[in-house]
């Protein structure tokens, strides 16, 4: 086999910044380097629409039972939807988001908006699969999510695959050590409660940036402990458990409420509100400014309910609300949050049974792609220049 062909094989084994297992050239008495396919075409690479289903063709491992592959940032699925108040189906969200990510891969990650790629900043990226959650017992499922998150959060980091990698979480973890970060694919929004419980053990209370059409801070009510925990009350429970700082903030709120008392309770829980219409009245630059000012230099967890996007652009969700932000506006805001002290992120409430042409799964996957860059860079990217000058900027 020629040297150039071997080089091509080696290059094909680099996925998301990881060097995979060496190319297997023999099996018993078979030397695959001399077989017709390999001699003519090289490695059996995955196309955008082929191969095992991992997020953006990341390396894949069942991390809860296999600790052999360290990582700096993990993708983790929480297929859970049994605390929804309207349309269920978000247990299929992790599958839909991964499916929507298939055209993204390590050779196709650069974008003009970021002037960068998730794979350009040195983090070892790994898809850790889905947590096998009980579909029958909410208390058990919530405990399973916390145990899974605890497990991965306490793993040693890879420490970067290139010199571009920068240590981040050691500066604000309670033990002074670097901890991996996790981007979770939901699942209904209740998954944030076990995540905040887990993060609290490493960072103490965190600030939350919450993108959603709904407050999710409604008082926890019910005749049983588990009835109190829903995808509309989990922040109230988290506040009661002192898991959040009084420096959290919503973006995109537009839901119907009982009356203004809901807003008063929301403030008591620790949130400020940026409504959907605030984007029109104050502009996207001021929205980003207020989000950044609110959380400051505290450890920040970002959670995004796909229903923050208008249902015309992301219909596959359980509690759709008309009049939402566009996908482009959400992505622009995310870019503006780069450089904050992110300890983790999630995207939730993708319920693909209500989708059309996979547009919600594709949008959610692209937002995850944005999260992966946002978490690794020190400041928001500069505006694309093209034929423009600085004097042409409208803000």
SS (H, E, C) the chain: CCHHHHHHHHHHCEECCEECCCCCCEECCEEHHHCHHHHHHCCCCCCCCCCCCCHHHCCECCCCCCCCCCECEEEEEECCCCCCCCCCCHHHHHHHHHHHCCCCECCECCECCCCECHHHCCCCEEEEEECCCCCCCHHHHHHHHHHHHHHHHCCCECCCCCCCCCCCHHHCCCCCCCCCEEEEEECCHHHHHHHHHHHHHHHCCEEEEEECCCCCCCCCCCCCCHHHCCCCCHHHHHHHCCCECCCEEEEEECCCCCCCHHHHHHHHHCEEEEECCHHHHHCHHHHHHHHHHHHCCCEEEEEEEHHHECCCCCCCCCCCCCCCECHHHHHHHHHHCCCCEEEEEEEECCCHHHCCCCHHHHHHHHHHHHHHHHCCCCCCCCCCCCCCCHHHCCC
**Residues in contact with 255: Cβ distance below 8 Å, sequence separation at least 6, in sequence order:** 213, 214, 215, 321
- Dihedral over alpha carbons 140, 143, 145, 150 (to 10 degrees): -150
Is 216 marked as a binding-site residue? yes
The position carrying tokens 């108040």 is 85
Beta bridge partners of 18: 15
Is 307 annotated among the ligand-binding residues? yes
| Number of neighbouring beta carbons within 10 Å of residue 176 | 9
Residue 214 in marked binding region: yes
Output the six-digit token pair for 43: 């490695």
The β-bridge partners of 105 are 108
| Residue 305 annotated as binding site | yes
Which residues partner with 163 through β-bridges? none
Angle between helix 138-153 and 192-203 (nearest 10):
40
- Would you list which residues are annotated within the binding site? 189, 212, 214, 216, 305, 307
- Would you list which residues are annotated within the binding site for Mn(2+)? 189, 212, 214, 216, 305, 307
């Amino acid at each position: 086999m020629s040297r150039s062909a071997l080089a091509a094989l080696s290059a094909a084994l680099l996925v998301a910044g990881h060097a995979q297992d060496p190319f297997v050239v023999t099996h018993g008495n078979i030397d695959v380097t001399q077989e017709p396919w390999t001699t003519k075409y090289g490695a059996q690479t995955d196309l955008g629409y082929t191969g095992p289903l991992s997020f953006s063709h990341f390396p894949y491992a069942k991390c809860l039972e296999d600790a052999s592959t360290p990582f700096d940032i993990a993708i983790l699925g929480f297929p859970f939807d049994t605390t929804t108040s309207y349309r269920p189906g978000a247990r299929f969200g992790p599958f839909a988001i991964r499916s929507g990510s298939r055209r993204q891969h390590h050779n196709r990650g650069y974008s003009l908006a970021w002037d960068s790629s998730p794979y350009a900043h040195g983090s070892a990226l790994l898809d850790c699969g889905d947590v096998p959650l009980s579909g029958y017992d909410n208390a058990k499922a919530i405990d399973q999510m916390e145990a899974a998150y605890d497990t991965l959060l306490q793993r040693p980091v890879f420490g970067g695959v290139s010199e571009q990698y920068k240590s981040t979480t050691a500066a604000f973890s309670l033990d002074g050590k670097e901890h991996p970060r996790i981007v979770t694919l939901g699942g209904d929004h209740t998954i944030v409660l076990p995540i905040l419980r887990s993060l609290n053990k490493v960072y103490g209370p965190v600030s939350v940036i919450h993108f959603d059409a709904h407050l999710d801070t409604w008082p926890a009510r019910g005749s049983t402990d588990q009835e109190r925990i829903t995808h509309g009350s989990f922040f109230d429970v988290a506040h009661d458990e002192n898991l959040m700082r009084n420096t959290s903030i919503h973006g995109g709120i537009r839901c119907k409420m009982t009356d203004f008392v809901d807003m008063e309770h929301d403030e008591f829980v620790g949130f400020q509100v940026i409504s959907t219409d605030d984007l029109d009245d104050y502009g996207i630059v001021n929205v980003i400014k207020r989000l950044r000012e609110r959380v400051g230099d505290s450890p920040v967890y970002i959670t995004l309910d796909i229903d923050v996007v208008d249902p015309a652009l992301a219909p596959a969700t359980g509690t759709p609300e008309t009049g939402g932000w566009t996908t482009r506006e959400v992505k622009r805001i995310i870019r503006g949050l780069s450089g904050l002290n992110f300890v983790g992120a999630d995207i939730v409430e993708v319920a693909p049974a209500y989708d059309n042409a996979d547009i919600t799964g594709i949008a959610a996957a692209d937002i995850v792609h944005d999260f992966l860059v946002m978490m690794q860079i020190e400041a928001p990217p500069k505006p694309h220049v093209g034929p423009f000058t600085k004097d042409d900027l409208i803000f």
